Structure 1
């Protein structure tokens, strides 16, 4: 029997029934689930059909589609930049050296898996794009160690837990960033919610406690579910080459290339950025500055330039990062069109599809039932619309109106969405793609472990949104100054 066959047989003997079921589910998903863009196209068709059934004319539906398609062009660019800046920072030489040092901290295989999970989730609170690449590079660095025999699949799943657990409770939370940035909100949502800065969403003690609980839970699951003995499959067993290619060095043959390799220009740009940031904190409330999506992206972009040291190194990293933004660029306009059809295409009685859904959620009654149903609905919809920001733009018009109707705190409603939104990422492989490229694995290799996380996270999430929701009081929306 070959080494590969021996490993496969051992793998089957060592895995639990739940893990084997999850592997089958992952295989089925890879075979039958189309690309996420197809789901977005189907979503537009379904929403358009719903508007027609509701009595809207084809002309009104078409006008809503075309009129809303580019409503969120600025936000589409911003979300693409979250991915790009995270990738650029994570692949910079200083961060690469830091990752190599961090990889030698854990002393046992199980501890190593839990450790990767902890760091990936912690980094995701700063930037979810950074977490994907950082976590993947850390998993590879741990797997390269000669003194530890660690299951590479478990390491890969652990490195994804930032996206599968708490990213939406951090600074790059799409929904929280949208609600804190008036220009990113559609007029319909802005009228309902007003502006909600981070003090009303991710910086509430309830949100931070939720993040802590989910991190502890995820790390514990990673630790106790890491395969041992014959069930371990290393990167070598899976045919993964862990040797990273050194960056290519180029000779400078033209005067203009000296500027491309200049270390002065990045330093000047970073100093200017820090100077701007200081003036912002001196002239505006701290929460306003921290909640600024444009400021956040400027800081991370210039930090990436500074850490790469030269314009040439920075641009090479940007070139590698751009493909990871493709899904956002082509999908978000469709989400904007969906939102426009739902909120603008009026049918019989002048009622829109969004208003019908609003009535359904409002009829749920008290805030406890509302919180649980919204969380479950968000998780279910996320299986088919794998985008935190895009999906929020579809949900927000009716969810936030319903929250107002049942007197649920609007900031906590955003966090209910954020807490539940990460759950489908543990099953749907869409956001795993950049990480899988780093790990050189397939989705089915790690979904068995992330599906276990999903099963254990779901009841905890439902309990948290219900119990913590009762600690809030309703606050009327505050409209931005003209």
Structure 2
């Protein structure tokens, strides 16, 4: 059944889904039109919201670009390539390759969402070198692991409401992660996804005549051999000096050890510093590292040009009141028992326009929290309903797929047909368990 669903969905997406840049332009016009139509905003006001928020994600965009580039640098280093090759060797068939990349991506994304995006893409490429499997589905299966991130250790909403000084502390106090991330019902959702997503991905394997295979030679990004020392100029000796690289890379790793020993957490800056320090140490020479950098940065064009447009959309959605109005409507049709479910659905819709967990919570919390208090609903479940909704429609929103697609060398239309099926399966599963548990 899932294969039957994925075939027309894939054909439809390949034919009708434009480049993600066109998608973000259309979303911009839709958000602007909706703000004027439903919120009564003037064209001038909407234009000011859009322009005023256009550059609000510059820091985040640079962080995401570095996630892609430093992750690629690390993955292309000889020790990591050897380790990934050994793990990929466990897959002996297309089905086992799909299941393996799904499980690895789910586990990595549960630990940290940025880590999951990079690891999934890199591991998918390594599997494609060793197993004849549909490359589109392989990358889509890697991306499906991202569905779990907001129920995991880096979930921005549960971490926010457990942190002293968060903006809603006067209203709800501090909600421990034992009531959100590590709550039995949330862990049950996580466990169900660990079972359902690999199986669903495996069931979508296309028949042999429709399988999209990629030449392993196209995935070979190894650096050419360095010249012999006798042939090197003084400048080339510096470029190929391992001592110079280790004098920088190893202190970076020592700093990270001190950071974690002192109770420091994981965020995007720490991940990028880890990837870069390991990449410097493992590559051994500046020549190899810079060669990997040249290859890795090629996939970052989408991030550079599209993230500012999403920042503008977010500004329209939040400043116009459109996102809050959508959330308020769903809250108005809820009961104490159904509010977590409707929070999940509303968050999924808002996420199409505001693809940021923290930003989405800032928009929806002022609506959902009073509704939860008025109805007597479990606030921790309502908050996680928003969190899961934010993660859910990432299967349809190409914003977060950009780093993975950049590493894998594919277009959004190549994987989105499979992602539509993943959206349906995960939506039924998460929504159903939010109601039943």
**Residue of structure 2 aligned with 1:456, choices 414, 419, 425:** 425
> Match of 1:366, SS?
coil
Q: Give the deviation of 1:367 after TM superposition.
A: 4.7
Structure 1 residue 114 corresponds to structure 2 residue 96: no
Matches of 2:235 and 2:116 in 1, distance apart? 36
Matches of 1:402 and 1:78 in 2, distance apart? 30
Equivalent pair of 2:64/2:303 in contact (CA under 8 Å): yes
Q: Greater CA deviation, 316-325 or 101-110?
A: 101-110
Matches of 1:181 and 1:78 in 2, distance apart? 23
Matches of 2:365 and 2:326 in 1, distance apart? 11
Partner of 1:325: 300
> Match of 1:318, SS?
helix
Partner of 2:120: 132
The 1:118–1:49 alpha-carbon spacing in structure 2 relative to 1, beyond 3 Å, is: closer
Q: Give the deviation of 1:461 after TM superposition.
A: 0.9
Q: Give the deviation of 1:467 after TM superposition.
A: 4.6
Equivalent pair of 2:223/2:291 in contact (CA under 8 Å): no
Matches of 2:282 and 2:157 in 1, distance apart? 29
The 1:356–1:322 alpha-carbon spacing in structure 2 relative to 1, beyond 3 Å, is: same
Partner of 2:21: 37
Equivalent pair of 1:124/1:170 in contact (CA under 8 Å): yes
Equivalent pair of 1:177/1:291 in contact (CA under 8 Å): no
Partner of 2:215: 241
The 1:140–1:56 alpha-carbon spacing in structure 2 relative to 1, beyond 3 Å, is: closer
Listed as ranges, the gaps of 5+ residues in structure 2 are: none
Structure 1 residue 398 corresponds to structure 2 residue 363: yes
Matches of 1:441 and 1:342 in 2, distance apart? 30
**Residue of structure 2 aligned with 1:99, choices 76, 84, 88:** 84
Matches of 1:276 and 1:254 in 2, distance apart? 34
User: Over residues 268-300 of structure 1, what are the superposed CA-to-partner deviations in whole Å (9 max), with x where a residue is unaligned?
Assistant: 3333333333443455xx3xx224432233223
Partner of 1:158: 141
Structure 1 residue 259 corresponds to structure 2 residue 238: yes
Partner of 1:73: 58
Partner of 1:306: 281
Equivalent pair of 2:299/2:406 in contact (CA under 8 Å): no
Partner of 1:213: 192
Matches of 1:101 and 1:233 in 2, distance apart? 29
User: Over residues 86-110 of structure 1, what are the superposed CA-to-partner deviations in whole Å (9 max), with x where a residue is unaligned?
Assistant: 3222222212111221222245554
The 1:190–1:259 alpha-carbon spacing in structure 2 relative to 1, beyond 3 Å, is: farther
> Match of 1:70, SS?
coil
Structure 1 residue 372 corresponds to structure 2 residue 358: no
For these two proteins, the number of residue pairs brought into alignment is 423
Matches of 1:190 and 1:67 in 2, distance apart? 29
Match runs of 1:142-157 below 5 Å? 142-143=130-131, 155-157=138-140
Q: Give the deviation of 1:404 after TM superposition.
A: 1.6
The 1:107–1:456 alpha-carbon spacing in structure 2 relative to 1, beyond 3 Å, is: same
User: Over residues 34-61 of structure 1, what are the superposed CA-to-partner deviations in whole Å (9 max), with x where a residue is unaligned?
Assistant: 2222332333333333443434344433
Q: Give the deviation of 1:438 after TM superposition.
A: 6.6
Matches of 2:233 and 2:169 in 1, distance apart? 53
Matches of 1:58 and 1:21 in 2, distance apart? 41
Q: Give the deviation of 1:460 after TM superposition.
A: 0.9
User: Over residues 417-455 of structure 1, what are the superposed CA-to-partner deviations in whole Å (9 max), with x where a residue is unaligned?
Assistant: 443444445456676666667767777776665544443
Equivalent pair of 1:87/1:133 in contact (CA under 8 Å): no
Structure 1 residue 123 corresponds to structure 2 residue 98: no
> Match of 1:290, SS?
coil
Equivalent pair of 1:99/1:138 in contact (CA under 8 Å): yes
Equivalent pair of 2:140/2:415 in contact (CA under 8 Å): yes
User: Over residues 357-412 of structure 1, what are the superposed CA-to-partner deviations in whole Å (9 max), with x where a residue is unaligned?
Assistant: 34324323435423222322344455x55x843x763x334322122212466765
The 1:302–1:139 alpha-carbon spacing in structure 2 relative to 1, beyond 3 Å, is: same
Equivalent pair of 2:3/2:205 in contact (CA under 8 Å): no
User: Over residues 4-43 of structure 1, what are the superposed CA-to-partner deviations in whole Å (9 max), with x where a residue is unaligned?
Assistant: xxxxxxxxxxxx6x52442222222222222222332333
Matches of 2:273 and 2:385 in 1, distance apart? 28
The TM-score with structure 2 as length reference comes to 0.78
The TM-score with structure 1 as length reference comes to 0.72
Partner of 2:329: 360
> Match of 1:322, SS?
helix
Q: Give the deviation of 1:143 after TM superposition.
A: 0.9
The 1:372–1:224 alpha-carbon spacing in structure 2 relative to 1, beyond 3 Å, is: same
